[in-house]
Amino acid sequence: MLVPAIKILKSARERHYAVPALNINNLEALKAIVAAAVKMRSPIIVQTSEGAIEYAGMDYLIAMAKVAAKAPIPMALHLDHGKNLKLIKEAIQKGYTSVMFDGSSLPLKENVAKTKQVVAWARAKKVSVEAEIGAIAGIEDFVSVEEKDAHLTNPEQAAKFVKETKCDSLAVAIGTAHGAFKFKGETHLDIERLKKIARLVKNPIVLHGASGVMEDVVKLAEYHGAKLGKARGVLDEDIKQAIKYGVSKINIDTDLRLGFTAGIREAVDQMGNVIDPRKLLEPAIILMREIAMRKMILFKSEGKA
């Protein structure tokens, strides 16, 4: 059964581990992450972006997730970076058990008002709501301390935002960025800022843009022809610190995308005589499963189901 995300996240915050929130667009990725969760006995949050819904169709994604949720682990189906209110409402009505309203690019007043609206819709259906305050972007994108302060999450503002909106969990900006190119120079997260946020916000805290861009996976993809340049991710050490100071949901998309890419490139390279899509996609599923398992160990969610 799919459960509200807050059910899974509360105990993660209390017990100092983080639930992997893994983005999927297709059956292959879903099968990989569910197999990993069952093997590791880890709770998971299966999440789909608005782009994933456009690609696969909301009804297909919900149907697949409902089948996946028969696995003996706690699982939530979450709408990632929901910006379109109509789509968010539809997700709540059709069976998502968690939605994010991403009003981070809106003026604060509008972010508060729209988050409150989503919370009102969600409460009626026992659906959890994640909200965001601050802009998720690499620290190096800011040229001055003032600019950094203006974009990263302000701890006092975060506390006021959660109190006012009554959202269940809060995504914060502490220097991570989406995608495979997170840092130009040294990798660095603002852990001091996170500590201050966590002192004031007792709800589960969410870390976006948290992929590690694992070297071995990048190398495998590049060996088989991918051109990934200076791809750089968040260090495992920073992830451990983030969990220690209150992060209880960690979003991973890029690492799974890299695994998928490496897997299909290797298959196409090595199986020139194969035309069966099941055989060509199998290495990608295996690699994504392994990557998800590594995250469960790093996030300490292993054995918590």
**Closer residue to ligand G3H, CB minimum distance, 56 or 235:** 56
Choose the binding region for ligand 13P from 116-124, 146-154, 253-261, 290-298 (rule: CB under 6 A).
253-261
Does position 23 bind ligand 13P by CB under 6 A? yes
Residue among 234, 220, 305, 236 nearest 269 (CA) = 220
> Quick one: which of 78, 208, 257, 289 contacts Zn ion (CB under 5 A)?
208
Residues contacting residue 122 through CB under 8 Å, at least 6 positions apart: 92, 99, 128, 129
Q: Shortest approach of Zn ion to residue 81 CB, angstroms?
A: 6
Told to check if 253 binds ligand 13P by CB under 6 A, we report yes
Under rule CB under 6 A, residue 217 binds ligand 13P: no
The only residue of 111, 115, 153, 251 in contact with ligand 13P, by rule CB under 6 A: 251
Nearer to ligand G3H, 40 or 252 (CB): 252
The residues in 61-80 that bind ligand 13P, with binding defined as CB under 6 A, are: 80
| 3-class SS string, the chain | CECCHHHHHHHHHHHCCCEEEEECCCHHHHHHHHHHHHHHCCCEEEEEEHHHHHHHCHHHHHHHHHHHCCCCCCEEEEEEEECCHHHHHHHHHHCCCEEEECCCCCCHHHHHHHHHHHHHHHHCCCCEEEEEECCCCCHHHCCCHHHHHHHCCCHHHHHHHHHHHCCCEEEECCCCCCCCECCCCCCCCCHHHHHHHHHHCCCCEEECCCCCCCHHHHHHHHHCCCCCCCCECCCHHHHHHHHHCCEEEEEECHHHHHHHHHHHHHHHHHCCCCCCHHHHHHHHHHHHHHHHHHHHHHCCCCCCC
Residue 42 engages ligand 13P in binding (rule: CB under 6 A): no
User: Between residues 104 and 261, which has the closer beta carbon with respect to Zn ion?
Assistant: 104
What is the contact mask toward ligand 13P in residues 171 to 190, using x (rule: CB under 6 A)?
-------xx-----------
The verdict on 261 binding ligand 13P (CB under 6 A) reads: no
Whether residue 80 lies in the annotated active site: yes
> Which span sits near ligand 13P by CB under 6 A: 143-151, 160-168, 209-217, 222-230?
209-217
Binding site partner of 190, from ligand G3H, Zn ion, ligand 13P, none, Cβ cut-off 5-8 A by kind = none
- Pick one of Zn ion, ligand G3H, ligand 13P, none as the site partner of residue 51 (Cβ within 5 to 8 A by kind): ligand G3H
> Which among 95, 103, 158, 99 has a CA at the least distance from the CA of 129?
99
Question: Minimum distance from CB of 234 to ligand G3H (Å)?
Answer: 14
Q: How far is the CB of 211 from ligand G3H (least distance, A)?
A: 9
**Which option in ligand 13P, Zn ion, ligand G3H, none does residue 3 bind, with CB closer than 5 to 8 A by kind?**
none
What is the Cα–Cα distance from 66 to 46, expressed in whole angstroms?
A: 11
Q: Which residues in this chain contact ligand 13P in the complex, by CB under 6 A?
A: 23, 80-81, 178-179, 208-211, 251-255
- Kindly list the residues in this chain that would bind Zn ion in the complex (CB under 5 A): 208, 251
